[in-house]
A and B are shown apart, each in its own frame.
Chain A
Amino acid sequence: MSTLLKATDVVKHFRAGRGRAVQAVNGVSLEVRSGETLGVVGESGCGKSTLGRCLVRLTDLTSGRVEFQGRDITTLSRRALRPLRPAMQLVFQDPYASLNPRRTAGDAVAEPLRIHGYGDAAAIRKRVAELFDLVGLARTHLDRYPHEFSGGQRQRVGIARAIALNPELVVADEPVSALDVSVQAQVLNLFSDLQEELGLTYVFIAHDLGVVRHVSDRIAVMYLGEVVEVAGAEELYAAPAHPYTDALLSAVPEIDDGADAPRRERIVLTGDVPSPIDRPGGCSFHPRCPVARDRCRTERPALRVLDAAPGRQVACHFPASP
């Protein structure tokens, strides 16, 4: 599989006043392969959304490098980025906030087509109708306004907009977290159907570990602006190597429906996630880590390939052996 997107040591800091910086993303390197879904999971404030915006250059990087289709897009101007825009699209958490309340759903989906000169009015109309079919909206929905839709339907409009220009890559930032569970399942299915039909590549950012496991081929776990572990979805959930991943997975409340797989023993982390302004030295997880040793307090572990399991990367001095 070829690499579609490659991020190398991406850093994004925001100014926080008094000369301090919020270190939202702190040296993230990862690859997104053509046709796969890379899940990015982490708790609020771990920098996953900021990373998503860096990957499609919706925001400028503080340092590091992003390559899309082998081309360095790190420092491209807005103008130079424009021809690349159709190929990388974003889907947001709250489709209501990203849709103009005074434009119909049909207009909203037609907008990117018009901006990028898709064709004449008739061609655009045809394409919009096609897209509505594709995302499971009725043609009668074309002339409705955002407030007339349910949350799930609005997200379908958001998705139709994102795929209008046949993108290669779709970065979806918490696309189902505002939806009811029954509707969430419908939208997740839509994502996988579209991937199959259109050969899309996804970066799927979410905090819900069940959702991420369901959609992803590979998963990157983030903590305090860093990727602490990367692995295939099945491998990660079966045997997490990083103590944070382990704690995160054990914290998920599970449905006990009588199928007697023994559940994971819960590791309750103490305290809160430290502020990304005052990052702890050494490994950023060490103050909460149940297995931290002296080395963890002084030396920051780099993300490295596990000897025992190639294809798995972990940023820990003392990873659990999978």
Chain B
Amino acid sequence: MPEPLLEVSDLRIRFGGFTAVDGLSFSVRPGEVLGVVGESGSGKSVSMLGVLGLIRTPGAEISGKVVFRGRDLLALKNAEMRAVRGREIAMIFQDPMTALTPVYTIGWQIAEQIRAHEKISKRAARDRAVALLGEVGIPSPEQRVDSYPHEFSGGMRQRAVIAMALSCNPALLIADEPTTALDVTTQAQILDLMRRLRADHGSAVVMITHDMGVVSEIADEVLVMYGGRAVERGSRRQVFHTPRHPYTWGLLDSVPRVRGARARRLPTIPGTPGAAGRGCPFADRCAHSFAACAEVPPLTGESGHLDACWLPEEKRTR
């Protein structure tokens, strides 16, 4: 088994009295796609922003260890961290409509990133931008490189954003809901593109999403988060074929499918997502909760399939 590229241990992020991420640990191996799923407030986006040092809220406390290629990112100086961001770890965000600065051309913005990390001429950076735009499937990239963001459709913008993220050949790409704002046919195009690029560039990917279908299509490993904690972790097969945590069961059941039998009523998880107080964060919405749930369950398991639940083995069936 290869060394992990990124190893996060006991990551905690607090804003004032609110704990957004509570002792999160996970790792990503080179070239692997980790799908991070959860609902709003699960801490899935915040934790990745924390990994990249992008949390700017005054008074935010971040602790734990984020080891990337042997260095603890949380201990790096600002300038050292900047050299990692964009070059070794790139991140793309949900809304392609607002992710690009409106007053510069697409090519300028891609070249800016390349030139922030490499000593090359403007001309060469521009040529690279053209090549990248072609690679992500933008038609006639020599012309489109001089377009402004508003002249692109949503799908094209997300392609441009991906081209920019890949411009320095990062070892890790963090994608925060990259297809959520897109239509389903465009989403299919972008997922296709990400699969292809991963094969060509060999970047590892952390894919943050709320869509179980997207994870099922693209992830090798899956991390399910709830209330700032990891509740289940394992290979895609393990998590989707034999889910162990009641929250994962709920998530899988409550999605209306496009195939299979139609139930009149959908199975639901009662209540609304949100961090609970002490104990298992899911306890107050869980149909199976019992006395033991007053304590936080540890993330344990065998052969890489871990879950954080006190439920005994014989009750682990949906």
Contact = CB atoms under 8 A, between A and B. Distances in A.
B240 A258 contact: yes
A272 B259 contact: no
Interface string B205-220: 0000011111011000
Contact of B266 (A189, A257, A268): A189
B184 A234 contact: no
Contacts of B155: 272
Contacts of A266: 188
Given A181-B210, A272-B155, A256 B255 contact: no
Interface stretch (A57-65, A77-85, A119-127, A210-218): A210-218
B259 A253 contact: no
A207 B181 CA distance: 12
A207 B184 contact: yes
Contacts of A268: 185, 188-189, 192
A185 B266 contact: yes
Nearest to A256: B216
A254 B259 contact: yes
B101 interface: no
A203 to B, nearest CB: 18
B28 to A, nearest CB: 21
A294 interface: no
Interface residues on B, range: 35 or more
B4 interface: no
B195 to A, nearest CB: 11
Interface string A303-319: 00000000000000000
B258 A261 contact: no
A181 B210 CA distance: 8
A185 B250 CA distance: 10
B56 interface: no
A256 B236 CA distance: 9
A69 interface: no
B273 A183 contact: yes
Interface in A184-227: 184-186, 188-189, 192-193, 207-211, 213-214
Interface in A245-273: 247-259, 261, 263, 266, 268-269, 272-273
A9 interface: no
Contacts of B78: none
Interface residues on A, range: 35 or more
Q: Which of B191, B258, B273 has the most CB of A within 10 A?
A: B258
A297 B187 CA distance: 27
Given A189-B266, A253-B191, A255-B255, A181 B241 contact: no
Contact of B273 (A180, A210, A261): A180
B252 interface: yes
A272 B153 contact: yes
A257 B256 contact: no
Interface string B257-292: 111101011111110111000000000010000000
B186 interface: yes
A255 B240 contact: yes
B184 A251 contact: yes
B251 interface: yes
Contacts of B98: none
A183 B272 contact: yes
Contact of A256 (B39, B40, B240): B240
Contact of A254 (B40, B258, B264, B265): B258
7 contacts: A43-B186, A180-B272, A181-B210, A192-B264, A214-B266, A268-B188, A272-B186
Interface of A: 43-44, 150-153, 180-186, 188-189, 192-193, 207-211, 213-214, 233-234, 237, 247-259, 261, 263, 266, 268-269, 272-273
What 3 A-B pairs have minimum CB-CB distances, sorted nearest first? Answer: A253-B213, A214-B256, A185-B254
